[in-house]
Structure 1
Amino acid sequence: MKKIFLSILFLGVVNLSFTQENTIKFPNNVLGVYKGDLKINNSKGSQIIPMEFHIKKTDSLHKFDYIIIYNNSPRNYTLVVKDKEKGIFEIDENNGIILPAKLSDNTLYSFFEVQGNFLSSRLNFTSNFLNFEILFTATKNKIKTGGTSKEIPLVYGFPISTVQKATLLKQ
């Protein structure tokens, strides 16, 4: 009987935790400052640099300060809410560059090409921290496979050359 009670209690706690994580209302419930270390892995090796992420209200209901700080050097962007219900956002670099972004399950995704390179970014928000990730590949390094018949299509693969990851704690 004691084991059954403990099992039910455990499942209840897990369910409560899961429910709380899924009820985050982006971006309002993730506002704040996040800090930690960014780990960068590429062909040259690995390095760790200090990183911060700030997301703050502005005077506009649909715009938020979206600041990424690498090694004490800030990049001041604006997060623009285009269609909150559909999870459609933009990251405005405030220089004419606007990147589309998609929110799904508390994770903000963006995928873009610049100067012959593909970048994929993923920011996963929880109540206490942010998991940050950027994947990088050069388009010139694409590999071609398949395409040997009508049933097997031609596929282009892009080897990932750089991975940037951080777990940033909400301050």
Structure 2
Amino acid sequence: MKKFLFVFCAFFLMFFAQAQETDFSFPENALGSYSGTLFIDSPRGKQEIPMEFHMKKTDSLNKYTYQLVYNGQARDYSLIIKDKQKGICEVDENNGIILPSRFSGNTLYSFFEVQGNFLSSRLEFKEDHLFFEILFSNTKAKTTTGGTSDKIPEVYGYPITVVQKATLKKTN
């Protein structure tokens, strides 16, 4: 009986967690303004700066304004939904740079290389806030391990040098 109760509770919790995740409709539920503090940890030390994120509808179907504000300086981008079912998106920097992105599990992911650095960005949306994170790794600092036999492949590592994190509260 205890085993049955445990399995039933585990099933119920998995079902409830999955049901909560599917209630979030992106980008509709993510629209609005968010603000907080960005924490930066880099070889130059730790830093805190005010940060905002704004996402609004536009007149174009599947296109949204996507604005990041760091220390009062705005960066205006566009979010383009390419395939909502598959979570395929693009962040258009409106200067010829377009970053492929993927929305999955309430989180918008992007991974790209610029000026010898890999960057991974992650925006996880919740009902009244979002978690923002960017990781940097210099491609020249690559490490190589493994490759010692046919069964052990060579693996490249990219040490993370800068971590940017923020929890931004939804203001509207």
TM-score w.r.t. the length of structure 2 is 0.88
The equivalent residue for 1:90 is 90
Alpha-carbon distance in structure 2 between the residues aligned to 1:151 and 1:113: 30
Distance 1:18 1:83 in 2: 21
Query: Sequence identity of aligned pairs in percent?
Result: 61
Q: Name the counterpart of 2:139.
A: 139
**Whole-angstrom CA distance in 2 between matches of 1:20 and 1:156:** 37
The offset of 1:137, in angstroms, is 0.5
1:78 aligns with 2:92: no
Contact 1:33–1:54 under 8 Å retained in 2: yes
Task: State the aligned residue count.
Answer: 160
Q: Would the aligned equivalents of 2:53 and 2:69 in 1 still touch at CA under 8 Å?
A: yes
Q: Which amino acid aligns with 1:69?
A: V
Q: Distance in 2 between matches of 1:161 and 1:117?
A: 10
CA contact (8 A) 1:21 1:126 kept: no
Task: Tell me the CA shift for residue 45 of structure 1.
Answer: 1.1
Paired with 1:28 and 1:144, the residues of 2 have a C-alpha distance of 43
- Aligned AA (1:93): E
Unaligned runs of 5+ in 2: 1-11
Q: CA deviation at 1:86?
A: 0.3
Contact 2:142 2:158 (C-alpha < 8 Å) held by counterparts: yes
CA RMSD of aligned residues (A): 1.8
Moved over 2 A (4+): 15-22
2:57 equivalent to 1:62: no
The answer to whether 1:165 aligns with 2:162 is: no
Cα distance in 2 for residues equivalent to 1:84 and 1:140: 36
Deviation at 1:44, TM superposition (A): 1.4
Determine the structure 2 residue equivalent to 1:120: 120
What SS does the corresponding residue of 1:85 show, helix, strand or coil? coil
CA contact (8 A) 1:21 1:127 kept: no
Q: Distance in 2 between matches of 1:69 and 1:135?
A: 18
- What is the CA distance between 1:19 and its match in structure 2? 3.7
Could you tell me which runs of 5 or more consecutive residues in structure 1 were left unpaired when the two chains were aligned: 1-11
Distance apart, 1:61 and its partner CA: 1.6
Asked whether 1:35 is paired with 2:27, we answer no
> Hey, what's the Cα distance between the residues in 2 that align with 1:58 and 1:80?
11
Query: Once the two structures are superposed, what CA deviation does each residue of 1:18-65 show, in whole Å capped at 9, x if it has no partner?
Result: 744541100011100000000000111101000000000000121000
User: 2:112 & 2:21 partners in 1: Cα distance?
Assistant: 28
TM superposition shift of 1:96: 0.3
Which segment drifts farther, 147-156 or 16-25? 16-25
Aligned CA distance change for structure 1 residues 18 and 48 (closer, same or farther; 3 Å): farther
